[in-house]
Chains A and B, each alone.
Chain A
Amino acid sequence: MKKLFLTFAIFAIGLVWAQTSYSQFDKLFEAITKPPPKKEQAAEEPQKQDTEQPAEQNGGGGLIGLGESLGVFDKKTSKILKQSVGTLQAFQPIEYEEEKAIGGSLAVEVFNKFGGMYPNPALQEYITLVGQAVAEVSDRPDIEYHFAVLNTENPNAFATPGGYVFVSVGLLRMLQNEAQLAGVLGHEIAHITHKHALQTLQRSKRLSGLSSLTMTAMNKDAGLFDKVINEVSEVIFTRGLDKELEFEADQFGTEYAYRMGYHPRGLKDFLKILGTAESRNSSIFLSTHPGPADRYKKLSQLLEQYNASSPYQLLAVRYKSRTKGKL
């Protein structure tokens, strides 16, 4: 009996020890087998970069206000409760259907403001192939992405929520290889995967007081939908996103291109080209973003983590052949 008990005890020790050992083995295995730039895991679990607090709700009293007037809550308690409710309301995520409606409206605005569609299906097909390849290895590959070329000489690129990505013909003329294109598209895709515009919208003080942005609410009140679109338009086309979100898009855009097998220096190289171009002042890609020198510096630091000797693709020949006579 004693021996039987001892046998079980040893079995249990083996089990517990194995559990810890396997995790250690796994870490060791990862360290040995992972390619030197072991960035992927970090990229899978990005740090949330909230630089602003959710908009404070200033709306009416509701039950809390009633409680306050009836003397159930004192003023201080009432204020704390209102802030808590406001914070929770501001956290409510915008669902995909609403995201798509907002992104679709903004996509119409993009065509309207930036030269319309560049009419070349072969070029659109090429951009879509590169963009789709990068989106496939992003952190949100399960939505549909749409790509288009804008008919403007100004070097611009945009993303609107729900999967719409744009790049101007002027920007395409500046690129030297497919890795640079993948880096630019990766940056835009990262704005969509990380819902940067929606995060900014939800934190907007101008829209404070709104509990949620549902299709029902927006269909009912055309003014509300218009207000939302105007707010995001101003962010994307005029004010620009928070610079930390832009750095995050640079980081993830580079990572997505790398995952697909492109050289991770693509976006950095493009920023250098754009930073010295005569047309840089007309680029929203620069005017609404942090300075290219800052972005270039941060990307240079990031690239140190990638293995420069791996056979990453630049695909300069394919870029030239696929765009020849089309730009």
Chain B
Amino acid sequence: MTMNSKNKTVRGFRWQVACLIVFLFGFGFAGQGFAETLYVKKDGTKLQAADSAKSDVVATLNGGTAVQVVKKAGKFYEVTAPGGKKGWIFKFKLTAKAPAQSGGGGDVLGALGGQQKIAARESGSGSSIRGLSPISEKRAKTKGIPEENIKAVKQMESFKVSKEELDRFLKEGHLGEYGE
């Protein structure tokens, strides 16, 4: 083998290694770009430090927040929240459905897509649409339905359990994120 052909072989080998590195770099780049995106279903969803309901709460997320799935482990997904904060969320508190844009009520496209997305208007427990509607109360009175039944609906609407109480209930029953 001449000196010249030896140099060609070495250069060819280097070239192959360089190509491999570039190829792998492209592969990794794509992996970053195509991570699965899911959306938080409800306001106040806990982002936790580990895949356990007993771990620290890193942040609470609002309904509709888009998160990137990093890892899936049992009932928890490790996600990256907007701003880069990482943590774990109970998987059934996430959905693949993107939240609907507000104001989509009456148009045709909104109508056709209306049942597939979480309507922005009803999203969040802070909805202003609360209590028995005046039109419902008026109808009941017009129909002569006894007042106690109207009061019963109002009582039902005002009866609440706190987040802490629900959390204790789940923990005690080994349910939800407290399940094995």
- Interface on A for B, CB 8 Å cutoff? 3, 6-7, 10-19, 21-23, 26, 29-30, 33, 35, 40, 44-45, 48, 88, 91-93, 95-97, 100-101, 104-105, 107-109, 111-112, 116-117, 121, 124-125, 128-129, 132-133, 136-137, 139-144, 146-148, 164, 178, 195, 212, 215, 218-219, 222, 225-226, 229, 259-262, 311, 313, 315, 318
Contacts and interface: CB of A to CB of B under 8 A. Distances in A.
19 contacts: A10-B26, A14-B22, A40-B91, A40-B92, A92-B106, A95-B105, A105-B140, A107-B156, A108-B152, A112-B145, A116-B149, A137-B176, A141-B41, A141-B93, A142-B41, A142-B42, A222-B139, A222-B142, A226-B139
A96 B23 contact: no
Interface in B8-33: 15, 18-19, 22-31
| Secondary structure call for the A interface | helix
Please classify how large the interface on chain B is, using the bins under 10, 10 to 19, 20 to 34, 35 or more. 35 or more
Nearest to A16: B30
Interface of B: 15, 18-19, 22-31, 34, 36, 41-43, 63, 72-74, 91-93, 95-97, 105-106, 108, 110-112, 114-115, 118-119, 121-125, 127, 129-130, 132-133, 135-136, 138-140, 142, 145-146, 148-150, 152-153, 155-157, 159-161, 165-166, 169-170, 172-176, 178-180
Given A3-B15, A14-B23, A116-B152, 7 more contacts: A7-B19, A18-B27, A97-B133, A107-B156, A132-B166, A133-B175, A136-B166
A10 B105 contact: no
Contacts of A33: 72-74
Contacts of A261: 173-176, 178-179
A142 B124 contact: yes
Given A12-B26, A117-B155, A164-B156, A91 B135 contact: no
Contacts of B92: 40, 137, 259-260
